[in-house]
Amino acid sequence: MNKSEAKTRIEKLKKTINHHRYLYHVLDKQEISDAALDSLKKELFDLEQLHPDLITADSPTQRVGGAPLKEFKKVQHEERMLSLNDVFSKEDFYDWHERISKLLTEQEKAQLDFYCELKIDGLAIEMEYENGLFVRGSTRGDGVIGEDITQNLKTVQAIPLTLDEEKSLVVRGEVFISKKEFERQNKVLREKGLAEYANPRNIAAGSVRQLDPKITAARKLDSFAYDVVGGNFNCHEDEHKFLKKLGFKTNLNNKHCKSIEEVFAFYEHVGKIRAKLDYEIDGVVVIINNNALFEKLGVVGKAPRGAVAFKFAQSQATTIIEDIKIQVGRTGAMTPVAVLKPVVVSGITITRATLHNEDEIKRLGIKIGDTVIVGRAGDVIPDVIKVLPEFRTGVERNFHMPRVCPSCENELEKSEGEVLWRCNNAKCPARQRRNFYHFVSRTAFNIDGLGPKIIDRLLDEGLVADQADFFALQKEDVVHLERFAEKSAENLIDAIHAKKEITLAKFIYALGIRNVGEQTAIDLAMQFGRIEKLQRASLQDVEKILNIGPIVAKSAHEWFANKHNVKLLDKLFRAGIKIKKQNLESRILKLEGKSFVVTGSLESMSRDEAKAKIRELGGQVSESVSKKTSYVVVGAEPGSKAQKAEKLGVKILSEQDFLKMIE
């Protein structure tokens, strides 16, 4: 990005961030997620670091957001209430450490230690005491002038109204509401048919800025204290000890860390206990513990140099759609895929996101070159959530779906009622390639070390023309391929041979028959028991199977009738594929007739393992919750499926309940 482009981008970032800050802090409204806004702020911060001459006094990086509301009495903060700069990765953290190290002497650097605090996702407050009595409480406001919320804060039980000592002092901290309270209050709103709050912080913010303290009292707010303004303390840790002694609630998880390694270890530890905490946190605040050094480092813009907010992986971020490419699926479906400027979402760098189909591109209003908010559906699959058209500069382009297959140039077709364009050429090289990937994938033949990159090489070298050829590969064929050596070639061949025996269901699934997913493959295997029977089955035989509809039956039946496929099956068995004997009928199928949805992350196994277990015990697995779902297994940080289950009254199982059930 050249300087003038950076300038334009910075202007757009400032305008957009200010708009959302105003919505959020002044109007208590929210249009985009905190994570998306953080992502924009980070981009602005980074651009300003690259071009310091473009920093202006009105930049959101230079001021604390939120003008005080008219309805409240104003309070002038004796000392400005600052905010913190964010870091999102170890790399960012090292950058911060390097920046501050440059401002310190060798001797000072040697003394650097850190105080690490849980970053509570609430609202910053100031509490003033005179001779041991709570006299005033205020919000941060714009950092200089806040709102007087004394009466509201008096309803918060965790804030002492009198101190154990008759001291006059100013304390800062956070008000928040517990996850449980959040659920309870949203339930009340739901029952009244009112709009629910998006997150606990929104309730805390809304409650503390109520004109009627009775409403605040009913909201059961909580508070942690984390800072004494002024005072004569050597280090930040001592301030916490002092606050605790005076009767404030301080966070006992906070920790003094002597090195960067200890900070990282603490950050990771907090990430692990996060789900178990009764309140929301969004990272760890890392503060230079030595107060003299903290003071020396000073303030830049809106934030002290001597502290950062080390944020947890965010589930959303903003980035740019650099291009839209067409991906040819193994069944010939054409999926438009966004090529993204790399960005970290939930801890993983994403570079592509499926756009599903033409209609979805229209619905979202996407153009190539757009700035967008991305997330990960079900915490896994990257997806585009929203376009931010305010970032357009006029160079963005519309996307047009091609009319021919980008791989084989076959004319694409779209059946009535379908949203996807398809290439119906069974010999299409791109389709075949995908079919090979599918064949060896974890849920099919599960051949270790045979990933898409190696398959590409085998295909490009002409070593493999159909799936059966994998089993005929010899070490000598592979060893000369780039990045292979004797041992790795031997390992790959061994891995392939180790998987020659397979269950019938997995075998059927591996064939990549259109509309035949894992569950249908199991149903077919259960019904027919042997591949020969399935091959001989009539369309009616297949249609008769419970859970299998006419479309699925037709595509399964057609597949087995196709002469190329007959040849392929024959070749596979000649190559030594053996179907494992499984006495399906006599197995005790504990979960038969029950359908499950699994959401959130489980501790004792992956979601895929849980699903496999359910299927093994005769249960059915579905991806979406409906009234027909028997159970929803809910792990940590579940998605909307858990809420839907609750709404529909579907039975929810904790991981413990589930483990007991499959015991």
| Residue 12 CB, nearest approach to ligand IVH (Å) | 23
Interface segment toward ligand IVH; rule CB under 6 A; list 196-204, 301-309, 353-361, 429-437: 301-309
Rounded to whole angstroms, how far apart are CA atoms 163 and 153? 15
Residue 61 binding ligand IVH, by CB under 6 A: no
Structure tokens at 226: 């984390």
Interface segment toward ligand IVH; rule CB under 6 A; list 54-62, 117-125, 528-536, 568-576: 117-125
Structure tokens at 306: 């001597």
| Residue 504 CB, nearest approach to ligand IVH (Å) | 56
3-state helix, strand, coil in the chain (%, to 5): 40, 20, 40
Number of Cβ within 10 Å of residue 407's Cβ equals 19
- CB closer to ligand IVH, 120 vs 525: 120
Cβ–Cβ < 8 Å for 52, 12: no
Pick the catalytic residue: 14, 119, 499, 506?
A: 119
| Residue 127 CB, nearest approach to ligand IVH (Å) | 13
Rounded to whole angstroms, how far apart are CA atoms 311 and 23? 23
Rounded to whole angstroms, how far apart are CA atoms 111 and 14? 38
Q: Return phi, psi of residue 364, to 5°.
A: -80, -15
Number of Cβ within 10 Å of residue 270's Cβ equals 22
Q: Which member of 75, 169, 309, 493 binds ligand IVH (CB under 6 A)? A: 309
- CB closer to ligand IVH, 120 vs 516: 120
Q: Which member of 83, 152, 316, 319 binds ligand IVH (CB under 6 A)? A: 83
Rounded to whole angstroms, how far apart are CA atoms 307 and 226? 13
Q: Which member of 65, 200, 304, 635 binds ligand IVH (CB under 6 A)? A: 304
Q: For residue 639, is it left (φ>0), alpha (ψ between -120 and 50) or beta?
A: beta
Residue 174 binding ligand IVH, by CB under 6 A: yes
Residue 221 binding ligand IVH, by CB under 6 A: no
Residue 82 binding ligand IVH, by CB under 6 A: yes
| Residue 41 CB, nearest approach to ligand IVH (Å) | 10
- CB closer to ligand IVH, 97 vs 302: 302
- CB closer to ligand IVH, 116 vs 513: 116
- CB closer to ligand IVH, 92 vs 383: 92
Q: Which member of 25, 119, 255, 330 binds ligand IVH (CB under 6 A)? A: 119
- CB closer to ligand IVH, 283 vs 336: 283
Name the residue whose CB lies closest to ligand IVH: 124
Interface segment toward ligand IVH; rule CB under 6 A; list 304-312, 431-439, 512-520, 636-644: 304-312
Residue 307 binding ligand IVH, by CB under 6 A: yes
Rounded to whole angstroms, how far apart are CA atoms 80 and 74? 14
- CB closer to ligand IVH, 181 vs 227: 227
Active site residue 341: no
Which of positions 373-432 make contact with ligand IVH (CB under 6 A)?
Answer: none
String of DSSP letters for 331-349: TSBEEEEEEEEEEEETTEE
Please give the torsion angle defined by the CA atoms of residues 654, 659, 660 and 661, in that order, rounded to the nearest 10 degrees.
90
Cβ–Cβ < 8 Å for 63, 143: yes
Best CA proximity match to 312, nearest among 265, 268, 350, 251: 268
Binding mask 518-557 for ligand IVH (x = CB under 6 A): ----------------------------------------
- CB closer to ligand IVH, 118 vs 545: 118
| Residue 118 CB, nearest approach to ligand IVH (Å) | 6
Q: Return phi, psi of residue 4, to 5°.
A: -70, -35
Between CA 416 and CA 428, with CA 422 as vertex, the angle to 5 degrees is 150
| Residue 84 CB, nearest approach to ligand IVH (Å) | 4
| Residue 248 CB, nearest approach to ligand IVH (Å) | 12
Residue 226 binding ligand IVH, by CB under 6 A: yes
Rounded to whole angstroms, how far apart are CA atoms 279 and 388? 31
Which of positions 228-287 make contact with ligand IVH (CB under 6 A)?
Answer: 285
Interface segment toward ligand IVH; rule CB under 6 A; list 101-109, 118-126, 335-343, 518-526: 118-126
Angle between helices 34-50 and 3-21 (to 10 degrees): 150
- CB closer to ligand IVH, 122 vs 635: 122
Q: Return phi, psi of residue 519, to 5°.
A: -70, -45
- CB closer to ligand IVH, 37 vs 285: 285
Structure tokens at 161: 């109204």
Q: Which member of 40, 44, 84, 542 binds ligand IVH (CB under 6 A)? A: 84
Interface segment toward ligand IVH; rule CB under 6 A; list 44-52, 77-85, 149-157, 455-463: 77-85
| DSSP class of 22 | I
Give 228-245 as a 3 state SS string: ECCCCCCEHHHHHHHHHH
Number of Cβ within 10 Å of residue 344's Cβ equals 15
CA atoms in the 13 A half-sphere facing the CB of 247: 15
Q: Which member of 34, 38, 92, 117 binds ligand IVH (CB under 6 A)? A: 117
Structure tokens at 492: 């790959």
Residue 124 binding ligand IVH, by CB under 6 A: yes
Interface size with ligand IVH, residues (CB under 6 A): 15
String of DSSP letters for 555-571: HHHHHHH-HHHHHHHHH
Please give the torsion angle defined by the CA atoms of residues 323, 328, 329 and 330, in that order, rounded to the nearest 10 degrees.
-150
Interface segment toward ligand IVH; rule CB under 6 A; list 113-121, 312-320, 426-434, 475-483: 113-121
* Catalytic residue numbers, as ranges: 119
Residues that bind ligand IVH (CB under 6 A): 82-84, 117-120, 124, 174, 226-227, 285, 304, 307, 309
